[in-house]
Amino acid sequence: MIPLTSGKRLFFLVILLVLVLYVMRVTAFGRVGATPLEGTLVDTFAALEQVATQLGWGVRDVFGFPLSLVTAARRANELSERVARLEGELEQAKEYRLENERLKKLLDFKSGPAAASGLEVTAAAVVGRDPGNWFSTITINKGRAQGIRENMTVLTPRGLVGRVIATTDRTATVLLITDPRSAVSALIQDSRTPGLVEGSAGGAGSLHMIHIPNDLPVRPGQVVVTSGTGSIFAKGVPIGEIADVKRDPTGLFFEASVRPFVDFNRLEEVLVITGVRSPVP
Amino acid sequence: MLGLLVLPGFLSLALLLQVTVVDLLRVKGVVPDLIFLLVVFYSFWRGQREGAFWGFVAGLMKDFITGSYLGLNALSTGVAGYLVGWAESRLYKESSLVVMVITFLATLVSQLVYYLLLVYLEIKVPFGVALFQVVFPSAMYNALLVPLFYRKFYRLYLKGWFRTGQP
């Protein structure tokens, strides 16, 4: 390495810092399309990710079963009875699994309320997660080649998951609604009171609904759905239910914490809304 | 020459595990950072210059996979590598306990730098949430994982696995 005087070194450091800070801003997730190099990198890596993720779930399943037996062993008198019951359940679970696989193939996930409301959906598997603790994004195994585009709504049969923020040929990145950068225009289902559902950092899966007008009562247990008006999200997708309500610091609005319907720590498959079918006459 | 590929190889493997199976180890909403652990170990053995360089590279790898804000992890991890490198000639390298403390402090600093960069990028995270739900828990989690890995990697290092041709 060429020896540098400390003055020159400092100069290069400052240049590097300014450059990195600039690149960081221009590569914020709203930018149009990734560079081809990035796309290829991400696609290649995604194939590996898919294998590793599946292995991970497999290992968890393998370890999960003996652990449940260890607990049972402590209560020795219950053990034999319990093992018998577990074995029975395991058999039953296997049945359910096989049935589930058959049905999945048959329906290709395209049944249920989404199809009934005329939405065209594509099923995708979750292959990766954001590596850090600040953001909540997932990588799915369908991309531009399967018709996935930026800003498409992503959901599961239970409720809203997020929206697509970036795509490559064979993968897409989904911004979860629990991410601090996410905001969803929402309504309280029964009273039609509007508000904005925001995520927060930490991956704990908590949601806050803010800017709720204080002229209508808001109660814990009420269901929150997407409003669809002027929003990139499809209309009427369930988000979660209100957990508790308080006035915001200005006193003009209510703010509420919302318990999401989707378990964001156990996402394995999601549906992407790719279009709306015109209703059959 | 082969030694030149060992660290990038381990970093790539750590990254692959990080975006896939590490998520299954989520506790209270945080996951440990395997890539960061590798950077801390290596910086502690090799000093500030290599620490900063490999911290930057490892962070950049993460940024590429995340696909946005290129440089965000690179800067915060590079700073951590530089600071850990300071301890290289000053602290005893055999002890996992020393590395646990270093890892805890390095994660704190690195995550605080990350938070400052989030402010610069205009991503709103309340400071209390950042400190108590991300920065402290992740520092704890990283430090707790050190005893599991450090001695094994140190033995590999002493055997010359990470030697890159420089004395």
Whether residue A124 is found in the same domain as residue A153: yes
Whether residue A135 is found in the same domain as residue A95: no
Give me the interface pTM, i.e. the ipTM. Answer: 0.86
- CB neighbour list of residue A270: distance below 8 Å, 6 or more residues apart: A123, A124, A126, A138, A140, A154, A155, A156, A161, A174
Whether residue A92 is found in the same domain as residue A231: no
- Residue B56, pLDDT above cutoff 90: yes
Whether residue A100 is found in the same domain as residue A189: no
Which range marks the domain in which residue A249 is found? 111-275
Check if A200 contacts B (Cβ < 8 Å). yes
Token readout for B83 is 């600071």
- Residue A221, pLDDT above cutoff 60: yes
Domain locations in chain B as residue ranges: 31-158
pLDDT in tens, A148-158: 999 999 998 88
Residue numbers in A near B25 (CB within 8 A): none
Interface test mutation site (partner B, options A12, A20, A59, max chain B beta carbons within 10 A): A20
Distance CA A275, CA B109 (A): 45
pLDDT in tens, A167-219: 988 999 999 999 988 999 999 988 889 999 998 876 566 899 999 998 888 89
| pTM (2 d.p.) | 0.79
Whether residue A95 is found in the same domain as residue A133: no
Whether residue A115 is found in the same domain as residue A79: no
Residue numbers in A near B28 (CB within 8 A): 204
Instruction: Let me know if residue A72 belongs to a domain.
Output: yes
CB A220 within 8 A of CB A243: yes
